Chains A and B, each alone.
Chain A
Amino acid sequence: MTCVETFQAYALRSIGLGERLLPRSDFTFCDHVVLIGSGLIWNLYFAICALALGFFFATGIALARNSANLLLRKPAEWFTFVFRGSPLFIQFFLFYEAFTLLPRAGIDLNLGIVEINIATSWITRAWAGALVVLFLNTSAYSGEIFYGALRSVPKGDLEAADAYGFSGWRKFRRITWPTMLRLAWPAYTNEAIFLFHATTLVFFSSFPAWQQKGDALYYASYLADKTFNPFIAYPVLAVYFMALTLMIIWIFGRVNRRLNSHLPSNTRARIRPRLFPMR
């Protein structure tokens, strides 16, 4: 098989298009690059969806934690404590088991006039179930970051907003929220990187890779197992992840510039790449 044929057969293998059978022998370097690259679709899908959904929920969590109302604050604090204090790996297992306990036939909901059936089988699949876990997990971590930023919004900004007659939703939307985002952004960039890296855990926890549709690490370990040679598959994976990590830093850097554009250039927050995965 030439490299072009390999590409046609396996480039979309991870979402079930192309050749059904994975290569079984005579692995070429091209196989490695195409198959592992194909798996990246899942990593990107999980990372982008979880981050996009988690962003809004995290803002809510930060606001709830900052609220004077005990009924809002306590649940938000517990949510953050549970998801930040326990390993993501265990969360995957726990949620998978909880999802499988839902009745297979779906839940019948009686709405008086009509009876509707809520299907539950899809939630045990990785694309939905793992996304839920990643969403909750990243919400807790980002919520903590946003909360810290919210607490350090300069008092002067808020007083100035009051003086200009801003209040309620408009004050939040125009003043508090952009400032909070600006302060949180460097830390949030790191969170995005760690979340992206954490997506490789999905198919190594309990979520099954249905029809061998897996993520990049799933294919890398498949190839390393078959060839019994870790020195090709994992470096290929490493190069992919390094490149995408740099891309995340670049994209978030652009946003950071926009968030800081009103400040004199010497007071802008710079994104400092951090080394800690926080899971």
Chain B
Amino acid sequence: MFEFCADPKSLEGARWMVCYLTTGKHLLFYQSFLLVIGLMLVTVPCALAMGFLGALGARSSIAPLRWLGKGYAALVRGVPDIAFFLFVPLALDQGLEWLRHQVKCPDWDAPVRQGNDFVVCSAAKLPLSSSPQWVHETYGIILAVAAFAFVFGAFASHVLSGAMNAVPRAQLETAEAYGMTPRQTTWRILVPQMWIYALPGLSNLWMVLIKATPLLFILGIEDIVYWGRELGGMKTSAYDYPHGDWRLWYFLALLVFYLMLTRVSEIVLSRLTRRLSHGQATMAGEEMRRA
């Protein structure tokens, strides 16, 4: 990256460190931090959407939908989340391939499961074996997001259905008294008002999500844990920048990164809670009114 880095073997001290920390692989390492943060930002709307469906399902008057909504929450509660992170991508991948197989190769007569193999016709492969590397990587990331959305959707549905129940009944009755239809009451009163009640739960959810991101490593994504292990491992003198086993220091850096991320989130979320509490019929809102 810098001119003086041309010959790594001759470097000493601080210059060595500067050059070492700006190698191509380290730049990939820094990019993976952005990947992790980006992934969280993508997961949140997906999880909220899943949660919304789950919450509506659990409140539904149609019994099978209600069972589905409640069963979903109970299942995710009773089973370790990393089991889902292992299960969902694999199951989704096979499910999609099987569907494509049914559509694209109707005259294929061999069974899909042959002993320990899962065989679909080559046109049904996802992604196609001819597609470039980045398609495979993106597909892996999409599956990971789906797994996260599945698990965190259940948590979000729990939070949102609680928040919907917490909106004071009087506000909804007022809306009805003004002649709003049930749909108008839901979208103009219930949904805007529920966020302050959902916020503590959603903040907690965000914290949990932050702390679940290193599990991406298990899904085979080149995230910060992957690069930390890769870069920290012992490098013999065959490498440009030989060093001992520095994995401890890399993981220490990751630990500090996560501590900072959770701390900053905590501060931002508490400010947000303050803002949303203005004018609400809650204790915090009442205190602000008096002040």
Instruction: Please name all residues of chain B whose beta carbon is closer than 8 Å to the beta carbon of A238 when the two chains form the complex.
Output: 75, 78-79, 83
Taking a contact as CB atoms closer than 8 A, the residue among A93, A228, A234, A275 that contacts B225 in the complex is: A93
Whether the pair B87, A234 counts as a contact (CB closer than 8 A) is yes
Cβ-based interface call for A200 (8 A)? yes
Whether the pair B79, A242 counts as a contact (CB closer than 8 A) is yes
**Cβ < 8 Å to A, chain B residues 190-249:** 204-205, 208, 210-215, 217-218, 225, 228-229, 232, 245, 247-248
What's the Cα separation between A27 and B115 when bound, in Å? 9
Cβ-based interface call for B118 (8 A)? yes
B211's nearest neighbour on chain A, judged by CB, is A87
What's the Cα separation between A200 and B83 when bound, in Å? 8
Helix, strand, loop or mixed for chain A's interface? helix
CB distance from B258 to the nearest CB of A (A): 4
What's the Cα separation between A197 and B218 when bound, in Å? 16
- How many chain A residues touch B (Cβ–Cβ < 8 Å)? 45
Cβ-based interface call for B56 (8 A)? no
What's the Cα separation between A206 and B59 when bound, in Å? 43
What's the Cα separation between A273 and B263 when bound, in Å? 27
Whether the pair A198, B80 counts as a contact (CB closer than 8 A) is yes
Interface string of A211-250 (1 = CB under 8 A from B): 0000001001100101111110010011001100110000
Taking a contact as CB atoms closer than 8 A, the residue among B83, B204, B212, B232 that contacts A220 in the complex is: B83
Taking a contact as CB atoms closer than 8 A, the residue among B82, B91, B252 that contacts A231 in the complex is: B91
What's the Cα separation between A238 and B205 when bound, in Å? 22
Whether the pair B80, A217 counts as a contact (CB closer than 8 A) is yes
- How many chain B residues touch A (Cβ–Cβ < 8 Å)? 49
What's the Cα separation between A241 and B77 when bound, in Å? 10
Q: Which of A94-102, A120-128, A253-261 contacts B (4 or more CB under 8 A)?
A: A94-102
Whether the pair A237, B79 counts as a contact (CB closer than 8 A) is yes
Taking a contact as CB atoms closer than 8 A, the residue among B73, B211, B225, B247 that contacts A86 in the complex is: B211
Cβ-based interface call for A201 (8 A)? yes
Cβ-based interface call for A279 (8 A)? yes
Interface string of A252-279 (1 = CB under 8 A from B): 0000000000000000000001011111
With A86-B258, A275-B155 in contact, do A234 and B83 touch (Cβ < 8 Å)? yes
CB distance from B222 to the nearest CB of A (A): 16
With A85-B263, A89-B215, A238-B75 in contact, do A228 and B116 touch (Cβ < 8 Å)? yes
Whether the pair A224, B211 counts as a contact (CB closer than 8 A) is no
Cβ-based interface call for B262 (8 A)? yes
CB distance from B226 to the nearest CB of A (A): 11
Taking a contact as CB atoms closer than 8 A, the residue among B116, B211, B214 that contacts A227 in the complex is: B116
14 contacts between A and B (CB under 8 A): A25-B115, A85-B258, A86-B258, A87-B210, A89-B214, A91-B255, A93-B225, A93-B251, A94-B251, A204-B218, A217-B86, A228-B117, A238-B79, A241-B80
